[in-house]
Amino acid sequence: MLPLGLLFSLNVFLSIGSSSQGAQIIDVERKIKILEDENRQLTQTLVIKTSLTKVSERVEELNLVRPTQVVYLNKSDTFAKLP
Amino acid sequence: MEIETRLVIIKYLFVLMGVVLLIRLFYWQGLMASELSEQARAQHQSSNQILAPRGNILSQDNTWLAASQEAWLLFASKPELKEDTKTIAVKLAPLLGEEKERIQSLLDRPEAVWIPIKHKISTEIKKNIQAMEIAGIGFDKQEMRVYPEGSLSAQLLGFVGKDEEGNDKGYFGLEGQYDLPLSGKPGYLQREADARGAPIIFGDSKEISAVGGADLVTHVDKTIQLVVEQKLKQGLEKYGAISGSAVVIDPKTGGVMAIASFPSYDPFKYYDFTDELFKNPVISDTFEPGSVFKPIVMASGLDAGVINPETVCDICHGPYKVDKYFIETWDQKYYANSTMTDVILHSDNVGMTYVGNKLGAERLYDYLDKFGFGGLTGIDLQGEANPRLRKKGTWNVVDTATAAFGQGVAVTPIQMVKAIAIIANKGMNVEPRVVDKIKGLGWEQDLPQSQEKRVISETAANQVTKMMIQAVKNGEAKWAVPKGFNVAGKTGTAQIPLQGHYDAEKTNASFVGFAPPSDPKFVMFITLKEPKTSPWASETTAPLWFSIAKEMFPYLGIQPGD
């Protein structure tokens, strides 16, 4: 009778254990999904924000202008030369 | 009632109950067995497809040229609809940008149960629809291709359409050429679950991991690409050309820094454009190059040792007769005793005929073959054209003479830029490549670079480079050169062949060049088809080339005098 009781208890214990582990897995998977979604959102924002076309349009909206003349300096000796 | 009668009634009642029980058992265990098993399996076993996103196409700074984003399929489950179809259509139409009649006709489709309404809607639109809480309207996860730069480099990238089975498939450009590595392989997860859907630890489970598509890291420089596209578009309008192309490559690696053509299309809405626009003219359009071809033939002559920069042309004093034809210069001016440098400087057809004669047909053919004409450049883009050279051994004197100044041969812009890049690369072979490396999660693979192969000697390359510097400094387009900068270049104005003769009015204008000549950072080729303001390259493509180069000089750290 005792072994049967032990077996029954073990069975109940294992069932509860596996059930709670299953719930943990679901919880971890849910968290992974949330992180994946956040990651995807951030990537989507990056994709849009790094668009040069969009930046150029914004530059025009802000009335920023390109330099009309670039001044080139003669290549001179290096600064802070060693003695 | 007597006790016997009661017993009989109870007996029959038990028998009846037994029969009913048997019938019920037969119903559940016999007739309904398979359906119930199915329901139990559905409850115990959850199965999901794991989506594999398509790889991204990145520029050289690892920002996006094409990216995959989450999208949704909007569907209606007809048995669950609670509102009438007209009301639903009116609600959905403004959000989807569709006509309500079309949505209603979809929803009213007879015998349909599950109706897809619109593919690939964004998450934002999905949220707006969800907020309306329309019963029977649902979403399935999909993937959408986005091109953050819009139509920028459309013909380089290609687009993603559908194959015969309705799966995503890349067409044209990089999407077509690298469809296999870009495409992911979806996975599958099946496992036993309890009534709440939580997995049973000791239950059966089967998982096939999804393999996401690999990312392509290209040599494309978005800054240069943007400048080239903007300037080319302006150039087309300014000079009234019907189309135009530009390509910029790094002569040391063959890496394609920019490719642009107009007219173009929007890869996000490819279905709104005609098929002709999908081809990339830089790799698929063939044309007679005209004078931009002269440095190639001159370099061949120098490498073969049949001429040197100071060799005097003894036929350059006037039109030169070849067979029954007269070879003339483009401006009818003739320079007796021109040196080879003068020949390039004046873009002298007679002088080039002289070089062609010195080389001879066989040797000229061999050099053109070595420069890559008549064959594929091997660029990693779908749809490269391969205009053949006339078969070796069949070239007559006229063919040799005309080929020497770029007539009677057909080339593609990519072949042309490759050949000039060989000169810029001190005579070493250059293979144009768009993709630098392919990378996935935790791995990266460099793609093979150009084979180390010498096409012409370094001396010959340097000699022809000096001639091209002179052609820019003192040639017809000298007015367009930014002050103080050294550029090796050559204009080309080619008549357009038309059913056995040349069109008297129309031309293709081209300019090819590289800078700085001593240590070239880029080679750029531009061609405009039928410019209206002037037929001459010196007045169209040359100033356009320099207006782009002017923007690139500070960006690439090129200074006056370099």
Per-domain residue ranges of chain A: 1-62
- Which residues have CB under 8 Å from B338's CB, separation 6+? B312, B313, B316, B346, B348, B351
Of A76 and B371, the one with more pLDDT: B371
Nearest CA in chain A to B201: A18
Cβ within 8 Å of B, A 17-56? 18-19, 21-23, 25-26, 40, 43-44, 46-48, 50-54, 56
Rounded mean pLDDT of B508-527? 95
pLDDT at residue B387 is higher than 70:
yes
Helix, strand, coil shares of chain B, percent, nearest 5, are 40, 25, 35
Name the residue among A22, A43, A54 with its Cβ closest to that of B200.
Answer: A22
The DSSP symbol for B489 reads E
What is the Cα–Cα distance from B259 to B301, expressed in whole angstroms?
31
Of B63, B152, B198, the CB nearest to A50: B63
Average pLDDT rounded to a whole number, residues B488-516: 85
In angstroms, the CA B148 to CA B163 distance is 24
Q: What's the confidence (pLDDT) of residue A78?
A: 64
> Contact B134/B126 with Cβ under 8 angstroms?
no
Give the Å distances, CA to CA, from B257 to B65, B224, B312, B379, B432: 13, 7, 39, 13, 10
What whole-number distance in Å separates Cα of residue B492 and Cα of residue B281? 18
Cα maximum dimension of chain A = 100
Mutate to test the interface with B, among A14, A18, A41, A57 (most CBs of B within 10 A): A18
Quote the minimal CA–CA distance from A3 to chain B in Å. Answer: 23
Are A52 and B222 within 8 A, CB to CB? yes
Q: Which CATH architecture has domain B222-434+448-556?
A: 3-Layer(aba) Sandwich (3.40)
* pLDDT value of residue B520: 96
- In terms of pLDDT, which residue wins out, A1 or B207? B207
Summarize the confidence of residues B135-154 as an average pLDDT. Answer: 85
Assess contact for B468 and B489: CB atoms under 8 A.
Answer: yes
Q: Chain B contacts of A54, Cβ < 8 Å?
A: 148
Q: Would you kindly state where each structural domain of chain B is located, as residue ranges? A: 222-434+448-556
Mean pLDDT of B393-398: 89
- Give the three-state DSSP class for B186: coil
Tell me the HSE value of B167 on the side-chain side, using a 13 A CA sphere.
12
Note the pLDDT of residue B112. 79
B371: confidence class by pLDDT, cuts 50, 70, 90 = very high
DSSP 8-class letter at B117: E
What is the mean predicted confidence (pLDDT) over B292-310? Answer: 94
Q: Answer whether residue A82 shows pLDDT above 70.
A: no
Strands of B256-262's sheet in order across: B256-262, B243-249, B522-529, B501-515, B488-498
Average pLDDT value for residue range B281-286: 92
Closest CA–CA distance from residue B359 to any residue of chain A (Å) = 44
B149 to A53: CB separation less than 8 angstroms, yes or no? yes
Each residue of B259-282: b (16+ CB within 10 Å) or e? bbbbbbbebbebeebeeebbbbbb
pLDDT band, residue B535 (cuts 50/70/90): confident
Instruction: Compute the average pLDDT of residues B308-337.
Output: 87
- B562 versus B254: the higher-pLDDT residue is B254
- What is the rounded CA–CA span in Å between residue B431 and residue B452? 10
Cβ B201–A18 below 8 Å, yes or no? yes
Residue positions counted in chain B: 562
pLDDT band at A80 (very low <50, low <70, confident <90, very high): low
**CA B535 → CA A22, A83, B346, B502, B521, distances in Å?**
76, 61, 17, 14, 30
Least confident range from B237-241, B252-256, B283-287, B493-497: namely: B493-497
* Residue B364 pLDDT level (bands cut at 50, 70, 90): very high
Summary mean pLDDT of chain B: 89
Q: Which residues does B407 contact at the CB level (< 8 Å), separation at least 6?
A: B288, B290, B494, B495
Q: Which residues pair with B440 in a beta bridge?
A: B443
Residue B523 pLDDT = 97
